[in-house]
Amino acid sequence: MIGTKAQSYQFQFTHQQQSDAGGEFQFQMGAQKPATICVTNVSIDGKPYIHIADTSPIRHNHVGFLPKADKFVFVASESIEPLRWTLKNDQGISIDLGRTTPFGLNTASGEHLHRIDLSHYTTEQKGLTITVDDETGFPFDIRGDIYHSLTYDAFSYFYQNRSGVEIQPEFVQRSDLARPAGHAKDVVTCFDKQDAWGNDWLGVISPLMSLAVGMMLATTANTQ
């Protein structure tokens, strides 16, 4: 609780779960009425948290590739010389080998990359892996149906994020994802007042929103 006199606050937090590393320290002031908030001498003390990510320098689409699509694999390496790579099938048998093509700096990630082109593989295969030096990438497939479940995955995501309805076990991937409705009695209408920034909202659905809802309903009907 804040007031007109200076006060001191101290809190202790113990990092227990791996997901705690994503925690944030925030000041949430609200927007009820104009106010002046003075904050001074803020500090966070403790041992630094260092997370070593278990990632591979071999980058590609982990879902896989379509048979007739381009199939590029990228390798993060500071080497300016081509690197030797090996392609193995799902039984661990080497079926191809070659050397990478130095690609250059990727400005988005700040990494120096090499490229491997597997576009000449057009037959369907499963469990392929690329090995460069001592690093092996994640398995991937070459299949015509790799994106077959994408529509259902998208609808499953939005279904599971609906808080006001029951999530039924027959429509989710695991039984522990099912749950009762969070607040079934709540009724939410369009905001029709003035917000904290002085914007007036009419509380009506715009034609663009109506079109989006109609498209979603039509898509739902077509996928059933």
The identity of residue 43, as a single letter, is: S
- More confidently predicted of 109 and 21: 109
pLDDT in tens, 96-138: 999 999 999 999 889 999 999 999 999 999 999 999 988 999 9
Residue-level pLDDT at 136: 94
- More confidently predicted of 103 and 32: 103
CA distances from 108 to 21, 70, 104, 143 (A): 24, 21, 12, 29
- More confidently predicted of 141 and 39: 141
- Tell me: pLDDT of 224 over 70: no
Lowest mean pLDDT: which of 42-46, 98-102, 183-187? Answer: 183-187
pLDDT in tens, 60-73: 998 899 999 999 99
CA distances from 41 to 12, 25, 30, 45, 204 (A): 16, 15, 22, 12, 46
> What number of helices (H) and strands (E) belong to the chain?
2, 9
Enumerate the β-bridge partners of residue 104. 113
